[in-house]
Amino acid sequence: MSDLDNKQKRRLPPKKLPPETMISKTWMVWLVIAMLTIGLLMWKTENTAGPETVNMQQVLDLVEAGNVTKGTIQYDLALGPTAATITGTVQAEAAFPNGSTTFRTQGRVTEATAEVLQRSKVFTEVASETFVRALVYNVLPFMLVIGLVYFLFVRQMRSTGRSALNFGKSRAKLLTRDRDRITFADVAGCDEAKEEVSEVVEFLRDPKKFQKMGGRIPKGMLMVGPPGTGKTLLAKAVAGEADVPFFSISGSDFVEMFVGVGASRVRDMFEQGRKNAPCLIFIDEIDAVGRQRGAGLGGGNDEREQTLNSLLVEMDGFDTTEGVIIIAATNRPDVLDSALLRPGRFDRQIYVDLPDINGREQILRVHARKISLADNVDLQVIARGTPGLSGAELANLLNEAALLAARRNRKKVEMVDVEDAREKVQFGRERRRLMDDEEKKLTAYHEAGHALVQAVLDDGHMPVHKVTIIPRGRSLGSTMFIPKKDILTHAMKRMLNQIAMGLGGRIAEELVMGDISSGAAGDIKQITKIARHMVCDWGMSPLGPISFGDNQDTVFLGRDITRSEHVSEETARKIDAEIHRIIDEQHTRARQIIEQKREALDKIAQALLQYETIEGRHVLEILEHGEIRSPVVPVPPPKLDDKGGKKGPEKTASPEPLCGGAPAPTPA
């Protein structure tokens, strides 16, 4: 059979089971429940030792002999006025041959018989059993058992609208066009990516335009980028612009505990797409099912590989003329299988990067539509002060500003609310932890050392924004920097300045306090990381432009668990010596700056002890004029408890690091 015949058979709609099939399966379930109930009844009847059946004369003999200890007389009006059922218990010595000590008889009770039974004073009359009472005692327990079985099995199998045979059905969700429609106007900060996907929109609107030229639209597009950059939103915008059905599914939805379910769901998803063509199928976080086969610790997983194989076959088998376009998103393209990325499956990779300053402003304007902003809020200034933030983080920033304004009982969001929200998102929330005078002085000189060195060495690229000794996040103090523009490359001079600035806090502690603390732990880690990147990765040392070391990322863990060093012991010693040299030179450089500007250091620290928070312009005023000339916005004092005293310091399990609030830029 040819491949064409196979494709035609694959495109045929799946055969639907007639309704009688599901009805017969339901009756089979009920039949099994009924058989289990009857079997339980029979087993109970056969295995339960019942009373001995006797006649009325035998009962009278037992009564006259005094062997009956107690008994009951229950008249049955349905059989007649004198018909009754007599039950009783005899003494152990008078037990019946089968070992039973109870008896039972049915018959007519004459006046003479009733007189004998009443004279014995061991029999009591009970109310006659009605039909309802018999139903409650005999039928209701079994109905409860049947209901429990139905709930545990049938309802569980049909939960969330799926029967027991629907495990292999696709979990793709169809977005409503009218309610959930998103267009390109709702997407900002990724103009290049929108241009890439606009071809798909044109194809879905007018496919003949491309077919006349002999062109073939890409079968699939893979969107790659950091988290929160708008990959999912861009895919929804493509469907909204083209006005076609949009199926959304996550890569983890294909993974199931049952074998073969993932592959079945892949096939069903593509069948749904063909029925609703033209349409878009969006697979979010495709790295959950598309990871490289046969890799990772412990080898490959058979079920996951079966799902991936089914996805590869389906993507290679369907034709783009059907109008089904596959869009996937991931932030880990390095772990995807190479067969998934080849042309014919995912023909095009679209990189959705973090937004630049213009993109951040556009994103802020999109999210600001639903927020009541005051006239003094300048979104351009906010965009300039938020480098490296994604679209999701910018949306969270405006939301935090709105919540903060609501707590302050404002009618609109002011600029100060946005600034506070930005500092909270970037540097952490303020924690009013009261410190003693010694710790407060130590923190003040530590942050003053950072601010002084950065203010002296800065070339206008990353000025000091704010210095505070109010705890934020995991630090007891913060020195905040805001770059003037987005950081795309790392210059050698600026990296050396970053190392010198990171050492400024430790040097200030040593010169003033005569001792060093653990507060510089975060600074030491950061400067060591920068120095190692300069030597091993960036070629910024006398060793030359050579890359030393090769990180091997495991596919499943996604992080460095091994680092193979392709260097000799002699070269390794040279690398360590170069790292030490860079840090030692910048330590000497920063120490000279602080010793020369010792008076400015003391004034910055005193200002921090007085105001707790000062702006970057105040640091520059101290360096130029020897004093603060512009006004300082006072910080609200700590809250008091009910007795009017100050709250004591919070207890922590470990000392907090005193590192600067804005670390050096993350090396590329």
Using CA atoms, how far residue 306 sits from 241, 291, 313, 333, 635, in Å, is: 35, 12, 11, 20, 61
DSSP state of 88: E
Contacting residues for 320 by C-beta, under 8 A, at least 6 apart? 216, 217, 218, 219
For tokens 């100060």, what's the residue?
416
Pick the closest to residue 290 from 281, 298, 300, 299 (CA basis). 300
Q: List residues with catalytic annotation.
A: 447
Pick the closest to residue 417 from 399, 430, 428, 401 (CA basis). 401
Q: How far apart are CA 624 and CA 618, in angstroms?
A: 10
- What are the structure tokens assigned to 596, written together? 């020369």
Q: How far apart are CA 496 and CA 28, in angstroms?
A: 78
Vertex 598: Cα angle to 472 and 446 (nearest 5): 20
Is 551 in contact with 561 (CB distance < 8 Å)? no
For tokens 């079994």, what's the residue?
142
Q: How far apart are CA 484 and CA 385, in angstroms?
A: 8
Using CA atoms, how far residue 56 sits from 52, 83, 106, 113, 129, in Å, is: 13, 12, 8, 9, 21
- What are the structure tokens assigned to 661, written together? 């609030």
Q: How many CB atoms lie within 10 A of CB 105?
A: 18
- What are the structure tokens assigned to 477, written together? 């103090």
Q: How far apart are CA 411 and CA 212, in angstroms?
A: 58
Is 262 in contact with 256 (CB distance < 8 Å)? yes
Using CA atoms, how far residue 294 sits from 336, 438, 486, in Å, is: 12, 58, 40
Q: What burial letters (b/e) apply to 655-665, b meaning 16+ CB within 10 Å? A: ebbbbbbbbbb
Is 307 in contact with 256 (CB distance < 8 Å)? no
